[in-house]
Amino acid sequence: LADLLLEEGNNYLKSTSQNFQPNISYFNYGGIRTFLPEGEITVGKIYELMPFENEMVFLKLNGQQINEFLDAVAGKGGDSLGGVRFKISDGNATDINIGGAPLRENGSYWLVTNDYIAGGGDDLEVLTQRSEFVKSGKKIRNVIISHLEKLNEKGEILSAQTDERITNE
């Protein structure tokens, strides 16, 4: 789901001629209410997966805020993230890489997530300290449905794979 959100967030920004790209995507596990079954995925199943009216939003954060955010994710044992890799060591994120490059504390990064999380939900107050906030007006559930319909039209099949984007030390 995180990779889907990163891809679709990027597609949305390109289609609206925005001058930035999301570096990281984030889904909180609490917002994902079921699993996707093997076999046919129905619209009804996506409504079960995402029963909330959450909107896709973009937040601009500095490297220090990203580090604090990822420490919070690491403290939970991980969550659904795209565009980033790190190790969890003593409940903190270490060896953070974003887009294949080490985290720059003085850098700027764009996070695509949902409006609940952007408002500090799930104890992520650091995300309310963002320097910029862009709404898409698109419900994440609809973004997922549209993405899966496009894959289906192309005859592509989803497959789950682990890639060790988050590891434990």
Cα–Cα dist 34/148, whole Å:
17
Classify residue 64 by burial, with Cβ atoms within 10 Å: 0-12, 13-18, 19+: middle
Cα–Cα dist 23/10, whole Å:
9
The 10s digit of each residue's pLDDT in 18-77 is 999 999 999 886 667 677 778 888 888 888 888 888 999 999 999 999 999 999 999 999
Tell me, what's the pLDDT at 41? 86
Tell me, what's the pLDDT at 93? 98
**Cβ atoms 80, 71 nearer than 8 A:** no
pLDDT band at 5 (very low <50, low <70, confident <90, very high): very high
Return the structure tokens found at 147.
């993405």
Compute the average pLDDT of residues 77-101: 96
Tell me, what's the pLDDT at 34? 72
Kindly tell me if the per-residue pLDDT of 150 is higher than 90: yes
Coil, strand or helix at 37 = coil
Q: Which residues contact 18 (CB under 8 A, 6 or more apart)?
A: 134
The structure's pTM equals 0.91
What is the residue-averaged pLDDT of the chain? 93
Calculate what percentage of the chain has a pLDDT beyond 70: 98
Tell me, what's the pLDDT at 31? 67
Q: Which residues contact 13 (CB under 8 A, 6 or more apart)?
A: 20, 21, 22, 58
